[in-house]
Structure 1
Amino acid sequence: MTKGLKIVTIGGGSSYTPELVEGFIKRYDELPVRELWLVDIPEGEEKLNIVGTLAKRMVEKAGVPIDIHLTLDRRKALKDADFVTTQFRVGLLQARAKDERIPLKYGVIGQETNGPGGLFKGLRTIPVILEIAKDIEELCPNAWLVNFTNPAGMVTEALLRYSNLKKVVGLCNVPIGIKMGVAKALDVDVDRVEVQFAGLNHMVFGLDVFLDGVSVKEQVIEAMGDPKNAMTMKNISGAEWEPDFLKALNVIPCGYHRYYFKTKEMLEHELEASQTEGTRAEVVQKVEKELFELYKDPNLVIKPPQLEKRGGAYYSDAACNLISSIYNDKHDIQPV
């Protein structure tokens, strides 16, 4: 009998945590999580308690024996962990709002993972994740670190270059979002779709798309020219792709490519939004407020559908699929 897995989530008070908990519940048969430790900092304690209590209700409702632990003591949580996931935001959403507003003031795209804002965020985040890496080295040297913290490309590269950890994987929900979008555009079950990815986070391209093993790239590119199949993220709105441009590109772009291929339109859209509804961070602050009010409801025992208004839809599927693939040595292909 396996002793079960110990998983630690740093940034456990995140509004995304119910996604992750749902992912572990759904896969309990193949991924026997025994303990899930949700870790946060004192500033996030109230959110941690709200999310953690919801997580406990979710596992109880599902009838799976996962022990949920809430703590502000990272070292206590990390001891002997099998997997560590990171999903934190240094400086909270207030810092993200600055990442977005400051560049806009100078007529430059303001975004949390690209351009100057992405660099601000990287410079704040990398020193913190390198400290976490030291704790992992000491307290659970055999654990896998699955990083979801943005800017995921920079953060993961920093870990691979400047920490001694070898089992580090950076993860993002863009590839799984594209795969889901393709399935929807083709009106088929997602299990029948495979996408070949290349590139860096967040600039990943789909080089080819297969339906039941047969390439359907041309058909998908055609479908993407229709605005109803936009395949973008909740956190990226603005310019649509032109069908001729997609055909000339001849690969599937991701939502973030709009910042590069449509810089002028995206900047105009952001400037306008910042004057009306606010920057993305300011919109998210409102969404989060509503989510945490929902999470407090003692009758809520599942992940609420409103969570999909956040930009991280399918994130738990990406993270849990990866963890299960490693744990079960599935020999499948994971876009990381």
Structure 2
Amino acid sequence: MKLTVVGGGSTYTPELIDGFARLRDTLPVEELVLVDPAADRLELVGGLARRIFARQGHGGRVVTTSDLDAAVDGADAVLLQLRVGGQAARQQDETWPLECGCVGQETTGAGGLAKALRTVPVVLDIAERVRRASPDAWIIDFTNPVGIVTRALLQAGHRAVGLCNVAIGLQRRFAALLGVAPADVHLDHVGLNHLTWETGVRLGGPEGEDVLPRLLAGHGEGIAADLRLPRPLLDRLGVVPSYYLRYYYAHDEVVDELRTKPSRAAEVAEMERQLLEMYGDPALDEKPELLARRGGAYYSEAAVDLAAALLGGSGSPYQVVNTLNRGTLPFLPDDAVIEVPAAVGGKGASPLPVAEVDPLYAGLMAHVTAYEDLALDAALRGGRERVFRALLAHPLVGQYAYAEQLTDRLVAHNREHLAWA
């Protein structure tokens, strides 16, 4: 089995490598190709990857290259973990929206739109090259904004499934609180990427006992603290929202907070500097503890599980993924990309039935889906007016004066990445 990681020079990659090494019985990788244009980073990460495989007795071969076409040739699955523009672009995404009184975040709001505009054309070019070289390969997209990027891939006819680590992180958290194995916890997880709610937590499978009320009663304070939302709000809702919902439920509070502290991009850039220095140590043969603070917790386990299921291995039959709605949520278009539990196998991901969604959540999902439609249109066809329309449609922007100002800033900060600008 050959797997290719596009963006293999990312500091995330050792998390992925660790999962491949530990879970080799689930996903028996014989050749792992890390491809990245940044040769200096790639060699550091590749060297550590080989040492992790050796330490854990994995017999697979790790190859590093900057040649994308060679990297994807003959691949069974291709994992995308790109950051077009690097941390410098992320720093901008998190900064200029605040000048207009809007949340500055890399996947949500105006910053998320900027990232989509930079990313979608690049990902589609990569996917076409994968299709030419390995038409049967699965593309697993971890590149943000996952919902928009995955929809672009599926709309273009690619064999693609989107993946986020929010659900698996909550599954692991709830399992620990309940004192059970993670595999025994099934989430009633519903929404769009980075806009999700846990409406049930079931033991034993999709039809198991719902223990969410017990979790909220016994551990509500800790769960609320993790989400940085007030405990009374969780009690009133009776669900566990993703931590990304804080940008919607406490927008002004978050903006004030972001204006008074260093950006997450600055923190990550410093962590990356330290991590790359560690990766260069020839004695290091395991992922360092600092990597847990970088983000992407449990990404490797989710990726292994998904790839194994898609490739006919022993991956879990039910997984939370990003895939086409196909009538699952009747208030959204069939071609919307939703994030829900799905049956995953060699033919892809098929969403499981979802209980009727409370209008409190369905309304916001429909609003953000409309924004994503416009965002994808802007990413595919370009133009200042399309950017303005997407921003005006976003619930975190909404006012025409803000949309005008944000459009100007977005184009100015991303001109080098926008072919039409």
Instruction: Flag whether TM exceeds 0.5 (same fold).
Output: yes
Residue 293 of structure 1 is matched in structure 2 by 277
Q: 2:295 & 2:20 partners in 1: Cα distance?
A: 20
- Partner of 2:241, secondary structure, is coil
**Worse-matched range after superposition: 94-103 or 25-34:** 25-34
Q: 2:224 & 2:172 partners in 1: Cα distance?
A: 11
Q: Which ranges of structure 2 fall in alignment gaps of 5 or more residues? A: 322-421
Cα deviations by residue, 1:224-283 (Å, 9 ceiling, x for unpaired): 531466344xxxxxxx3222211221222111010011111111111111xxxx211011
Q: 1:331 & 1:191 partners in 2: Cα distance?
A: 9
Tell me which amino acid in the other structure corresponds to 1:115.
G
Q: 2:157 & 2:178 partners in 1: Cα distance?
A: 44
Give, in angstroms, the shift of residue 189 of structure 1. Answer: 3.4
- Partner of 2:121, secondary structure, is helix
1:14 aligns with 2:7: no
Cα deviations by residue, 1:141-196 (Å, 9 ceiling, x for unpaired): 000000000111111111111x231x200001000111112123334432332212
1:226 aligns with 2:221: yes
1:335 aligns with 2:320: yes
Q: 2:187 & 2:56 partners in 1: Cα distance?
A: 32
Tell me which amino acid in the other structure corresponds to 1:210.
R
Residue 243 of structure 1 is matched in structure 2 by 231
Q: 2:295 & 2:258 partners in 1: Cα distance?
A: 16
Q: Map residues 1-336 of structure 1 onto 2, 5 A cutoff.
A: 5-41=1-37, 44-161=38-155, 163-165=156-158, 167-212=159-204, 213-223=208-218, 225-227=220-222, 230-232=225-227, 240-273=228-261, 278-327=262-311, 328=313, 330=315, 332-336=317-321
- Partner of 1:126, secondary structure, is helix
Task: Answer whether contact 1:37 1:68 (CA < 8 A) is retained.
Answer: yes
- Partner of 2:320, secondary structure, is coil
Q: 1:15 & 1:283 partners in 2: Cα distance?
A: 14
- Partner of 2:111, secondary structure, is helix
Q: 2:278 & 2:221 partners in 1: Cα distance?
A: 35
**CA RMSD after TM alignment:** 1.5
Residue 236 of structure 1 is matched in structure 2 by none
Residue 378 of structure 2 is matched in structure 1 by none
Task: Answer whether contact 1:225 1:241 (CA < 8 A) is retained.
Answer: no
Task: Answer whether contact 1:38 1:71 (CA < 8 A) is retained.
Answer: yes
Task: Answer whether contact 1:7 1:82 (CA < 8 A) is retained.
Answer: yes
Q: 1:115 & 1:316 partners in 2: Cα distance?
A: 27
Task: Answer whether contact 1:208 1:251 (CA < 8 A) is retained.
Answer: yes
Task: Answer whether contact 1:181 1:229 (CA < 8 A) is retained.
Answer: no
**Worse-matched range after superposition: 84-93 or 264-273:** 264-273
Q: 1:57 & 1:331 partners in 2: Cα distance?
A: 28
Task: Answer whether contact 2:77 2:138 (CA < 8 A) is retained.
Answer: yes
What is the count of residue pairs matched by the alignment?
A: 317
Tell me which amino acid in the other structure corresponds to 2:110.
P
Cα deviations by residue, 1:304-329 (Å, 9 ceiling, x for unpaired): 12100012111111111111222216
Task: Answer whether contact 1:225 1:242 (CA < 8 A) is retained.
Answer: no
Tell me which amino acid in the other structure corresponds to 1:129.
V
Give, in angstroms, the shift of residue 219 of structure 1. Answer: 1.6
> What TM-score comes out, normalization by structure 1 length?
0.91
> What TM-score comes out, normalization by structure 2 length?
0.73
CA separation of 1:184 and 1:29: change in aligned 2, threshold 3 A: closer
Q: 1:228 & 1:30 partners in 2: Cα distance?
A: 31
Cα deviations by residue, 1:3-54 (Å, 9 ceiling, x for unpaired): xx1000000000111111111111212321011000001xx21111100000
Q: 2:117 & 2:177 partners in 1: Cα distance?
A: 38
Runs of 4+ in 1 over 4 A off after TM superposition: none
* Percent sequence identity over aligned pairs: 41
**Worse-matched range after superposition: 263-272 or 8-17:** 263-272
Q: 1:229 & 1:50 partners in 2: Cα distance?
A: 38
Tell me which amino acid in the other structure corresponds to 2:252.
K
- Partner of 1:226, secondary structure, is helix
Give, in angstroms, the shift of residue 335 of structure 1. Answer: 0.2
- Partner of 1:312, secondary structure, is coil
